[in-house]
Amino acid sequence: MSQPPEIESQRQRLEELRKLVNYHNYRYHVLDDPEISDAEFDQLMVELRWIEAAHPEWVTPDSPTQRAGAPPAERFVKVTHPAPVLSLGNAFDEAGVRAWFERIAKLDGRVLQSEFVVEPKIDGLTVVLHYRDGLFVQGATRGDGEVGEDITANLRTVRALPLRIPVQPGAAQAPAYLVVRGEAFIPIAEFEAMNRRLEQAGERTYQNPRNTAAGALRQLDPALTASRPITLLTYQILAFDDPRLSPPQSEQATLAYLRSLGFPVTPAEVCHDLEQALAAYDRLMAQRDSLPYEADGAVIKLDSLELQASLGFVGKDPRGALAYKFPAREVTTLLNDIGVNVGRTGKLTPYAILEPVEVGGVIVRQATLHNFDYIAEKDIRIGDRVLLKRAGDVIPYVIGPVLAARSGRERPFTPPEVCPACGQTVEHFAGEVDWYCVNAACPAQLIRNLEHFVSRSAMDIVGLGIKIVEQLVEAGLVRDVADLYSLHKEDLLKLEGFAEKKADNLLQSVEASRSRPLARLLTALGIRGVGEVAAADLAQAFGSLDALMAARLEDLQTVEGIGPNIAQAIVDWFERPGNRQVLTKLRAAGVWPAAQKVAAMGPAPLAGMTFVVTGTLPTFSREEAKAFIEQHGGKVTDSVSKKTSYLVLGENPGSKLDKARSLGVPVLDEAGLRALAGESHV
């Protein structure tokens, strides 16, 4: 019986919409090359849902609308895999890889001439995907390698997974029965964005991408899975059944075939021998911090699947592949106590006192806990076994407690009511994260204030290190930064370790610092939110301390980079009587930079650019290079990131050069910097 024209037209539109949505899903989630905007895509989905709502009998399991979730299942069904889903043996250094190679070469001489494929070992959840006649019919977890759990409904929500393998003229053909192995994970950027959204909504955040993805896929409500930004990469065929077709015979061919069917596949490097494979591992290791996903090593595979099969297994590990692990960056250890540091602005910062543990090649005894809210949100307790992470040069931090390891003897932590340095009551305002000691005479703050004031980037008082600062404070010679300019030689000679020459040198350094420019003094004062960059901008905008002291909130916010919070902090700092007293003493001591001409707010050759300086330059000192860049409108930071415009390179550079290369940051020498600024150097 024929359908009415209107019904037939809707049915045709339904099929057209499904093809369009699947195609644009593929462009977005697999190729990362979308052709339409999010709004246009949403309109296609709205129309598709409208037609299916009007004709529920037309809804099929592979419809894109079914990715949004289905009614919760009562329990997971067990799934027997068509072939063992095996783990790999591990190597933790180059010697271990070479030993593996020598063992398998003795078993089969063809190994010596074999090519290798090297892939990142993505830290996700292994999934097994079943297709019949090109239609996704079942998905399972790895389980014990023989039997997994049926998570088909949850996997349908993963947009990178093809619900139907498209049939296209001239394209590869899918077999009647195909089982593919892959790794489901949450990309790092998506994970961080998700946690920010959850934090802003007042909901609990997650510790790491891998556990979050695994937990989302192994729970009973697909709608919850759909709310997590899980994606997928595939890399192995477990079953291939079709008398008309032949399966791929190598790792290279497998990845190419899966890609041609519309699957996202793991990136891989083909290597002609073991030395190239080891070099590929080194490259992956160097890129570790810039990979879009968590990876804990590289997988080195013999390219020939027939050779892999002939080598067999040792225990449950296939001999033809090996996981060469990266140095561990996440470990667990005991949290013996929580200490509290008092910063130079009075901010109290908690830190973890740990049972010493090696992570990333470094013995770690202390780690950051960020702030007191973080401790409460993560329910971190003294005596917990905690998960610790160290990535690259980042200070180690505690991710959270290992709840399963709790014995009941752990103690909750309460933020201190008094400053651990001076015993005075601390302040904490509702809605703010930080806690502060507001006692201006707090010895912890005084020492740190002085240490910052005399530092190289501030007043640069050479010879006045932390030990001498402590001596001056303990002797009562210095009660604030202005007292440095009232020191006398006879006072210094009374201190341990001081003789005539040392005292003279220190006083000469103090005297030289009286003429430091306004930006350096502003940096030295330690106003909250005013670092080197902001200090330079404020000095350029106002020209003198007197003008800055008289500035209103709205005046301050006209300066680039000065938002309402920093503007308020500046106003508050200058309004405090104790700070006014310090400024009065500094003026009397002649530490009051002469007013400079306020720069016209016009274009500058380096405006909008951010620079990092490393190594020894031919004619510039580090400070001179920084001043040169700022004079021409640029900004200087200490660390290389994707936002860095240029790395200025001198002799004997450090690790910043490697980081710049890994991120693709352009590199300049001193001559190139001068040319960029429109100057020449004779």
The distance from CA 105 to its chain's CA centroid, rounded to whole angstroms, is 40
Q: With CA atoms as reference, report the closest residue to 340 among 233, 401, 418.
A: 418
Look up residue 229 and give its two tokens.
Answer: 């930004």
Q: Classify burial at 262, counting beta carbons within 10 Å of its beta carbon; exposed 0-12, middle 13-18, buried 19 or more.
A: buried
**What does residue 167 show for φ and ψ, rounded to 5 degrees?**
-100, 115
Would you give the DSSP letter of residue 286? Answer: H
Q: Strands (DSSP E) along 326-459, which ranges?
A: 330-342, 347-359, 362-368, 381-382, 385-389, 397-401, 411-412, 426-427, 435-437
Amino acid letter, residue 276: Q
If DSSP codes are grouped into helix, strand and coil, which group holds residue 345? coil
Contact call for residues 350 and 414 (beta carbons, < 8 A):
no
Burial pattern 354-383, b for ≥16 Cβ within 10 A else e, equals: beebebbeeebeebbbebbebbeebebbbb
CA distances from 212 to 85, 325, 377, 460 (A): 22, 22, 17, 48
> Which residues participate in catalysis according to the annotation?
121
Tokens representing residue 533 in the block: 């960059």
The residue behind tokens 């003026």 is 587
Beta bridge partners of 441: none
Q: Give how far the C-alpha of residue 264 lies from the chain's centroid of Cα atoms, to the nearest Å.
A: 24
Question: Within 10 A of 121 (CB to CB), how many other CB atoms are there?
Answer: 22
Q: How far is residue 296's CA from residue 122's CA, in Å, rounded to a whole number?
A: 7
- Name the DSSP class of 425: B
Give dist(CA 190, CA 153) in Å, integer: 22
Residue with tokens 């610092």: 513
Contact call for residues 613 and 622 (beta carbons, < 8 A): yes
Query: Number of H helices and number of E strands within the chain?
Result: 24, 26
Q: Which two tokens stand for residue 101?
A: 């190679």
Residue 153 neighbours by CB under 8 Å, 6+ apart: 69, 70, 73, 222
- Tokens 């014995």 locate to 407
Pairing of strands 321-325, 90-91: parallel
Structure tokens at 174: 């899918």
Terminus-to-terminus CA distance in the chain, angstroms?
92
3-class state of residue 110 by DSSP? helix
